[in-house]
Structure 1
Amino acid sequence: MTAVAVVGMGVALPGASTPDELWDLLRSGRSVLSAADADPAGLAGLHDPDRAVADRSYNRVYGPLADLRPHPRLRAERDAGDAPPGLTTYWLRHCLLQALDTTTVADRDRCAFAIGYGVSGSINAEQAFLVEAVAQGVGAYDPDAGQIPDLVRRALAGTYPFAGPEPHVFLPHEVGRRAAAGLLPPRTEIVTIDTACSASLYTVQAAISALSTGTADVVFCGGACNVTPSEYVMLSQVGLVSADDQLRSFDVAGTGSLWSEGAAVVALKTLDRAVADGDEVLGVIAGLGTSSDGRGREVLAPDSRGQALAIRRSLESAGVTAAGVDWILAHAIGVPAGDAVEFAALREAADSATDCLVTVNKPQFGHTSWASGLLSLVHVLLALRNETVPAQRRFTRTPESYRQEATRLRIPVTDAPWPRTADRPRIAGVNSFGFGGTNVHAVVTDTPRVGGFARRSGTGEIAVVGWGTHLPGAPTATEVMDQLRGAEWHVPPGFGESYPLPDPVQLRMPPIAARNLDRTQLMLIQSMLQLAGEHGEVWAPFTDTTGVFVGHHGVPGAFGPVVLRINRDLIAGALAGVTDATAAPAVDRFLKSLQALAPDPDETVGGLLPNFIASRATKRFDLRGMAMVVDQGIDSALGAVHLAMRALHTRELDMALVSGVNGNSGSELRAILGAPFRSPAVDPAEGAFTLALTRPDTAAEHRLPILARLRAGQDPHDGPATVRCGPSAGRSYLGGDGALAILRAVATGGTVRVEPYDPAIQPAGILVRA
């Protein structure tokens, strides 16, 4: 067994540019949430206090990160004009520099940088997409557009100042690359994980898997989040935003959440390595558990059973009982229904004989979404150092329905001492639960005597026991394999403007709900249904330990129309500045098309966020292992395969369903993707590809035929033949290219090496033995 040590940490939060300042903020009780005139995110432009007004947020209270004092090296880069573009990139680099200040990294070390992040949490990416969507949209109404798109871009620059001249630099894999540039060794694995609100703590799972399998020596885990006006509108539309200027967690007076900007990074090593290097051990990750909610309730409604399952798994992996936990730093974002579900999960998982403190930090600095889990982990590490549990702020009492008096869960309203003792370790739990039911719980302690993770080799083979696809034209599995063996790929590039909805009986969803989802969610289910039709539901024996890993890159197709509709008044005001007579007819036609976009009462944020692609599959097939969306650019599905294989090697999972999917082939997406899409020779294509993976011994035990064997590696001499992940025959499935490359290797037969498209982000390939 090996313990995992935290040896470095960094934060960026309103009012706190260092961990010590974060501690001061926690002890002060001060809130960073406000509706001040300083409104860098521009929420005021989409605000209306009347909750009945469509496409407006009824609240503009949030926590803007406008007062960051950058790390000295980052400040020097900024002063020299060399700082990375993009707010979240800048914040992550600041945090990474802080974490590196106390972390020893040798030249020989294999490093990884896992970031909890989503394209929806970047104001730079949203505005870049908006500007390109409008420029392309106006240009489409004039076949001789000429300079019209450039005129439109210039007109929008004042309204959308964060768009920038090179929009591709704001995509998640580029954010990670640029945050780490020159700080981490060459060929550092950089991967973005999106599970919405639990994403940054999910990176700790990825780190533990990499350390436990020996595929990395040092792993940096990060998370970052912007507040974007369009997302605030969507969150208001489904009633998740607070009705006043307060966020009250687990409180009878709570009315909803308030969001904030922030970032965090922690550095992880095995404890043995940390001690050998002389690094200060800030805390020990003794256990970690993940889960999905499975079938249960609607995708936006959390399920206490799924959350309690993650807590139990974490305690089991740490080798402790609930009675040994002193304190749980909860996730509760202030939404009454969600907070009630989490308290029920705590009640179910808690010990009935010993007191346990429960607190939440969000009433002070808001919900930082993708960054929130790591900020909570840093919160606990600071409490260990300072021997104090900060009080729950702005708390009156829990609702009667919580039945708190029947538990030993206590919410302190004053700071509680938490001193070191010689006779027992101090143990805390950290909750982080994401929209869509993606749950993670970490057990953190001050001693290596608790818990630990089994060391296993990350070089063993993993079996492919099934595969399925969903492509335009609905080719069968046999037709797909025949085409992969041949020289021509005859599949149409896209599904067209209107995606053909699946059979609602197979989908287990009414058509009115399905039509509001981004098509990628439906495409993934369709590919899994084809897999089941060809190979059976190979996951059926272990639904509790089957995970879903989805490679996805870019912006969901459903995101564009909604964001354009929300912003149409701002767009119209900006385009009034286009005075060129030749452009006026095209501008007018485009604005009329925006006015025709009607709000849909059934539309929900769950239909638009990329992380819901994986969650939709866990809901449909009642799966309760981990679920995540992975973004490594064109190598996204290849990265998902690596993460899945490690989770299988560590036996956190028995089955992994790994998919690559793209459902957006619009011209505005191409405009923000950068290379290789700057050349007209490569176009985005739509499709979904799913592989069912398990360990060979598990396949043998359950009599599952092995179709191929996969092994991770970096040896360029493995295999006589190679297939490169990336565009082929003038098209790219973006996040799906890696899964298609593995299927192409299976079709080729023999031993084939699948090479990554971008070895600077994903250094390791996959050896396929069919």
Structure 2
Amino acid sequence: MKNYKDLLKTSILKIQEKDRRIAELEAARDEPVAIVGLSCRFPGAADPEAFWELIRSGTDALTTMTDQRWNMDDYYSSRIGEPGKICTRRFGLLDAVDQFDPAAFGMSETEAVYVDPQHRLLLEQAWFCFERAGLDVGRVRGADTGVFIGQMNSDYARLIKSTGDLNPYVGLGNALSAAAGRLSYVFGLKGPSVSVDTACSSSLVAVHLACQSLRMGDCSMALAGGVNLLLSPEAAIGASVSQMLSPNGRCNTFGSGADGYVRSEGCGLVLLKTLARAQADGDTILAVIRGSAVNQDGRSHGLSAPNGPAQIEVMRRALASAKLDPAEVGYLEAHGTGTALGDPVEVQAIDTVYGRAEGRQAPLVLGAVKANIGHCESAAGIAGLIKLVLLLQQGQLPPIAHLGELNPHFDDLSGQLLFPKSGAQPSGVARPGIAALSSFGYTGTNAHLLLSRPEGAGAEAATPPAGTARQAFCFSAHSATALRQQLRQLAQRLRARPAATLPSLAAAVNRVRGRLAYRHAFLAGSMAELLSQLDAGAQADLPPPPLDGRP
């Protein structure tokens, strides 16, 4: 005879176990993701510290191009839309994009010539990103680290093809898939490796996919971001003929003078872990990604036309993923290209979701880094994300560069959107704890992300003891030239931005750089002595490694 009491008890236990498992899966699906490292190069800013100073000061980093990429005299015309011409001379440009140290990445000089400079830039920034997260590059080899990279332009392949110099290095050196694949290969990373092209939203879509991969357990750490270089004039000609570029050479985001965007270069990466893993590993958590979403405009007014309802939908889906109320969000970094059509559509969508949110106690502050550095296209989303991380850390609300009168097409707004201009910090607005970010691709793929300061980030950090003992500083590189450059760059940065204490600086210098073949070490008991030693080392004839190959 069946014991129905025991059967019922067993059934209840099975149901409870299934409920527990469902709850675990739902929690994993929306688990927060920690940003534990970042690196970047943008116009006017060679590192995150310089990038924040540029943003904080409201600097416009765009420059007039002469012949850095192509001869502008051959292509410039003040006549908007003239076939074969570009209506502006202003661009956002990086310095020395032709410079690269192939030996540092196990690459021959012959191969390096045919590798897209965008991929070379990614290699450099990935190295910096690992080190800024406190990781020795040599020790990440073999890890299940994912790589997710946004890239849309392949100008270098076009340049090489025009020379007729085709060889086995060209295809692999310029393939879009190699944007991620080469990073995985060089650093020995065995997680998913994905290159993403959704046009201007590519890098933020890459971050979204990295978060999903971490939550699904496909990898335990992920490198995500994007890159963009302007190496040939064809794309600028196309944008100019389509009347998308600003003849005035500025991204007048949200302004009455919005007349198009300015093309720009840049590269940015973030290193990600699930929040629980980052806490367990004792990582320094820079910010927390609370949720994100990606969607598509679908059949709208046109393939490249902005779609307000789709933007509203992606914002709401990201908020649901983050389990946040829109009234909790204090700052939003807009896509903000500065176009006559795009800005009003985006601002109306933002106002619908955030400005009119029930329970909003303070205005939503808006920003747009494109007003500082131009439109980095496939690196635009990561530029906005890195800006948000720095903003949450610093607690300041930077101005929208050169913003004058607002766009007259901002009709019937709620009055709960604040557009900060240069000058004093907005009064009556608290330091944002939660911020949002949008990035829209011109073929209709939209991304939205919610970010917050890590718990306890508002507390005062303990100041390391100054110490009186002399500190050891150890440096290494793949070549004597690179080692001298490393010493020279550190001296330059310390003179521009002094470190807090000598012990903390020594700990940072010694912790992450692997012991490479060429080395230099010394003791310093004061910042003045450190700078003197750095200057001397940068000028010294450093001896080569032993001939037997030992460091």
Q: Which residue of 1 aligns with 2:3?
A: none
Distance 2:280 2:240 in 1: 50
Any conservation in 2 of the 1:388–1:419 contact (CA below 8 Å)? no
Q: Which residue of 2 aligns with 1:196?
A: 199
Q: Which residue of 2 aligns with 1:94?
A: 124
- Does 1:224 pair with 2:232? no
Distance 2:446 2:363 in 1: 24
Q: Which residue of 2 aligns with 1:389?
A: 397
Distance 2:429 2:109 in 1: 46
Any conservation in 1 of the 2:33–2:275 contact (CA below 8 Å)? yes
Distance 2:180 2:83 in 1: 35
- Does 1:438 pair with 2:445? yes
Distance 2:412 2:396 in 1: 23
Distance 1:348 1:234, change over 3 A: same
Distance 1:16 1:408, change over 3 A: same
Q: Which residue of 2 aligns with 1:410?
A: 418
Residue 23 of structure 1 aligns to a residue whose secondary structure is helix
Any conservation in 2 of the 1:3–1:271 contact (CA below 8 Å)? yes
Distance 1:403 1:385, change over 3 A: same
Deviation for aligned residue 1:47 = 2.5
- Does 1:316 pair with 2:344? no
- Please say which of residues 38-47 and 326-335 is displaced more in the overlay: 38-47
Distance 2:330 2:244 in 1: 30
Q: Which residue of 2 aligns with 1:379?
A: 387
Any conservation in 1 of the 2:80–2:243 contact (CA below 8 Å)? no
| TM-superposition CA deviations, 1:643-681 (whole Å, max 9, x none) | xxxxxxxxxxxxxxxxxxxxxxxxxxxxxxxxxxxxxxx
Any conservation in 2 of the 1:329–1:430 contact (CA below 8 Å)? yes
Deviation for aligned residue 1:175 = 3.0
Q: 2:145 corresponds to which letter in structure 1?
A: C
- Does 1:117 pair with 2:155? no
Q: Give the one of 266, 280, 285 matched to 2:284.
A: 280
User: Matches of residues 496-535 of structure 1 in structure 2 within 5 Å?
Assistant: none
- Does 1:7 pair with 2:10? no
Deviation for aligned residue 1:86 = 2.2
Distance 1:107 1:175, change over 3 A: closer
Deviant stretches of 4+, over 4 Å: 41-44, 67-71, 73-84, 103-108, 417-421
Deviation for aligned residue 1:50 = 2.2
- Does 1:16 pair with 2:19? no
Distance 2:173 2:400 in 1: 39
Any conservation in 2 of the 1:388–1:418 contact (CA below 8 Å)? no
Any conservation in 2 of the 1:88–1:226 contact (CA below 8 Å)? yes
Distance 1:268 1:174 in 2: 21
Q: Give the one of 156, 159, 166 matched to 1:127.
A: 159
Distance 1:41 1:19, change over 3 A: farther
Q: 1:170 corresponds to which letter in structure 2?
A: N
- Does 1:65 pair with 2:65? no
Deviation for aligned residue 1:404 = 6.5
Distance 1:4 1:334, change over 3 A: same
| TM-superposition CA deviations, 1:712-756 (whole Å, max 9, x none) | xxxxxxxxxxxxxxxxxxxxxxxxxxxxxxxxxxxxxxxxxxxxx
Deviation for aligned residue 1:368 = 0.2
Distance 1:52 1:92 in 2: 34
Q: 1:86 corresponds to which letter in structure 2?
A: D
Q: Which residue of 1 aligns with 2:311?
A: 307
Distance 2:378 2:453 in 1: 26
Question: How many residues align structurally?
Answer: 416
| TM-superposition CA deviations, 1:244-268 (whole Å, max 9, x none) | 1222001111111101111111111
Deviation for aligned residue 1:11 = 0.5
Name the Cα RMSD after superposition: 3.0
Residue 392 of structure 1 aligns to a residue whose secondary structure is coil
Residue 186 of structure 2 aligns to a residue whose secondary structure is coil
Distance 1:70 1:418 in 2: 45
Q: 2:441 corresponds to which letter in structure 1?
A: G
Residue 318 of structure 2 aligns to a residue whose secondary structure is helix
Any conservation in 2 of the 1:10–1:98 contact (CA below 8 Å)? yes
Q: 2:151 corresponds to which letter in structure 1?
A: Y
- Please say which of residues 238-247 and 348-357 is displaced more in the overlay: 348-357
Q: Give the one of 280, 292, 297 matched to 1:293.
A: 297
Identity of aligned residues (%): 25
Any conservation in 2 of the 1:307–1:342 contact (CA below 8 Å)? yes
| TM-superposition CA deviations, 1:320-375 (whole Å, max 9, x none) | 11110010010111111011111111111114343110010111110000001011
Q: 2:118 corresponds to which letter in structure 1?
A: T
Q: 1:409 corresponds to which letter in structure 2?
A: L
Structure 2: tracts of 5 or more residues without a match: 1-26, 457-551
Distance 1:8 1:106, change over 3 A: same
Distance 1:108 1:314, change over 3 A: same
- Does 1:428 pair with 2:435? yes
Deviation for aligned residue 1:78 = 10
Distance 2:410 2:221 in 1: 42
Q: 2:206 corresponds to which letter in structure 1?
A: T
Q: Which residue of 2 aligns with 1:33?
A: 62
Deviation for aligned residue 1:83 = 8.6
| TM-superposition CA deviations, 1:231-286 (whole Å, max 9, x none) | 01111111100021222001111111101111111111011111222211010000
Q: 2:240 corresponds to which letter in structure 1?
A: S
Q: Which residue of 2 aligns with 1:333?
A: 337
Any conservation in 2 of the 1:284–1:448 contact (CA below 8 Å)? no
Deviation for aligned residue 1:178 = 2.8
Q: Which residue of 2 aligns with 1:550?
A: none
Deviation for aligned residue 1:417 = 7.6
Structure 1: tracts of 5 or more residues without a match: 132-152, 158-162, 450-770
Deviation for aligned residue 1:52 = 5.1
Deviation for aligned residue 1:46 = 2.7
Distance 1:78 1:399 in 2: 51
| TM-superposition CA deviations, 1:41-97 (whole Å, max 9, x none) | 4444333222353122222311121246989x8795699848943210121112111
Q: 2:119 corresponds to which letter in structure 1?
A: T
Any conservation in 1 of the 2:40–2:267 contact (CA below 8 Å)? yes
Deviation for aligned residue 1:183 = 1.9
Q: 1:217 corresponds to which letter in structure 2?
A: S
Q: Which residue of 2 aligns with 1:175?
A: 179
User: Matches of residues 662-681 of structure 1 in structure 2 within 5 Å?
Assistant: none
Distance 1:329 1:83 in 2: 39
Distance 1:417 1:183, change over 3 A: farther
Residue 284 of structure 1 aligns to a residue whose secondary structure is strand
| TM-superposition CA deviations, 1:431-484 (whole Å, max 9, x none) | 1011022111100001369xxxxxxxxxxxxxxxxxxxxxxxxxxxxxxxxxxx
Residue 400 of structure 1 aligns to a residue whose secondary structure is coil
- Does 1:239 pair with 2:243? yes
